[in-house]
Amino acid sequence: MANIIILGSQWGDEGKGKIVDLFSERFDIVARYQGGHNAGHTVFIGLKKFILKLIPSGILRPGKKAVIGNGLVLDPAALLDEIDALEAAGVDVTTNLAISDRAHVLFPQHRMMERLSEGRAGRISIGTTSRGIGPCYEDKIARRGIRVAELLDRDAFRAHYDSLMEEKHAIARTFSIDEEDDDRGIRDRYEAMAERIRPMVCDTALLLNNAIRDGKRVLFEGAQGTMLDIDHGTYPFVTSSSASAGGACTGTGVAPTRIGGVIGVSKAYITRVGGGPFPTEAHGEEGELIRRKGSEFGAVTGRPRRCGWFDAPLLRYTAAINGFDSVVVTKLDVLDDFDEIPVCVGYRVDGRVLDGMPARVSVIEKVEPVYERLPGWKTSTFGVSSYDELPARAKDYLAFLERHTGVEAGAVSTGPERTQTMVRTGSRLESLLR
């Protein structure tokens, strides 16, 4: 009975939330390991649409436990909004959610610091979600952050908070962007919110390790995608956490020896939000067609996503970084209308075909994708729920992706509903889920 990691193999928004929601039926616990409310997982159950930002989508399955691991940065206001919305829809959150006492607390002042780094002349603008994620992780790494356990200890919290905010305003004044946040009011609000989250806070590493020892199954849920990982992504156009598979261990306190498999999620094409290099970006009419058909607008920010063609070298790279056992290919139906579908099979820079992903953004920006063009299937696959019923050319497309990435397409999805994802019989994925 394997514990598995599910994560994005591209630049995020691959449809992980939907896949985690579907597979969580076979697990006891779903644990998030990094990021914050910059993530947005959209899950449909019947006619109800849920956008989950912090809470793992396993919460939507009655009786399953959801864990917010130590690797996250937590805005308690965003968390409580999400809890209230879910509870109003009849989901029992408070009894099933566990929050790590070691997760870091995100404050409005982190957003002020983000405006400083994103807006200042001469700085590279990353095109962040403006949620304060980066500055909160900065405090964590600089060892001056406030963790959830400290938020719950009023005296310790007050002293630490006051000195941290004094420092933030000193920096902001230096750059003339000080916004005179109501520090005192924010502190009072956080103290009040601490009381609401207190019953859910615990040592989640202990909880997870005890559960695994007792034979329970854990599904680790990544946010963002591997190409946004702080180390392995297109730095500096990345998020500030370890979105790749390694982050599941550091972000929850569960050892690699307890993990039985890693599943990547990939769109049948590719998207990116925010700035940064994107070798297979489709500009003009074709990009617009993908965006419209795929409703490619950010779940958190509403920003239009940049759209492009499937990038096999990128997936080969993320498969290596994460050790994918299998890949779930989502949104196949978005490609239904194309006469021809280009797939990038290699990167060429200055006439040379590359072996791997360049470290430098300036080199990735120079990449000329080597495309092969596959015939489209020109028939609707929307909602098809059996692999055998896919048109032959759609199956050929999937087989082509498998050949050029070296990883099986263990499942395919053709729509947002739980019934519209098919796990292939005999796949490695099927055996991992068993």
Whichever of 273 and 343 has its CB closer to ligand IMP, that residue is: 273
Contact between 109 and ligand IMP per CB under 6 A: no
Contact between 128 and ligand IMP per CB under 6 A: yes
Catalytic one of 37, 41, 232, 404: 41
DSSP-derived secondary structure letter, 202: E
Contact between 13 and ligand IMP per CB under 6 A: yes
Min. distance of Cβ 374 from ligand IMP in angstroms?
A: 27
One of 60, 113, 126, 248 touching ligand IMP (CB under 6 A): 126
The Cα 193–Cα 64 span in angstroms is 24
Residues 6 or more apart in contact with residue 227 via CB below 8 angstroms: 10, 11, 233, 234, 238, 272, 314, 318
SS3 124: coil
Residue type, 96: N
Min. distance of Cβ 134 from ligand IMP in angstroms?
A: 5
Strand order in the sheet with 352-353: 352-353, 340-349, 368-375
Q: Which of residues 356-375 bind ligand IMP (CB under 6 A)?
A: none
The Cα 15–Cα 105 span in angstroms is 27
160 is catalytic: no
Give the x-and-dash track for 22-51 against ligand IMP (CB under 6 A).
Answer: ----------------xxx-----------
347 in Cβ contact with 317 (< 8 Å): no
Window contacting ligand IMP (CB under 6 A); options: 123-131, 351-359, 385-393, 406-414: 123-131
One of 2, 78, 108, 127 touching ligand IMP (CB under 6 A): 127
Residues 6 or more apart in contact with residue 83 via CB below 8 angstroms: 55, 93, 94, 97
Total binding residues toward ligand IMP, as defined by CB under 6 A: 20
Q: How far is CA 125 from CA 10, 115, 116, 205, 237, in A?
A: 21, 10, 10, 35, 9
Contact between 421 and ligand IMP per CB under 6 A: no
Contact between 139 and ligand IMP per CB under 6 A: no
Min. distance of Cβ 223 from ligand IMP in angstroms?
A: 6
Which single residue is written with the structure tokens 């690699």? Answer: 256
One of 228, 307, 315, 407 touching ligand IMP (CB under 6 A): 228
Q: Which single residue brings its beta carbon nearest to ligand IMP?
A: 274
The Cα 95–Cα 63 span in angstroms is 9
Window contacting ligand IMP (CB under 6 A); options: 18-26, 237-245, 338-346, 401-409: 237-245
325 is catalytic: no
Nearest to 8 by CA among 307, 245, 234, 217: 245
| Residues making contact with ligand IMP (CB under 6 A) | 12-13, 38-40, 126-129, 131, 133-134, 223-224, 228, 237, 239-240, 273-274
Task: Kindly list the catalytic residues.
Answer: 13, 41
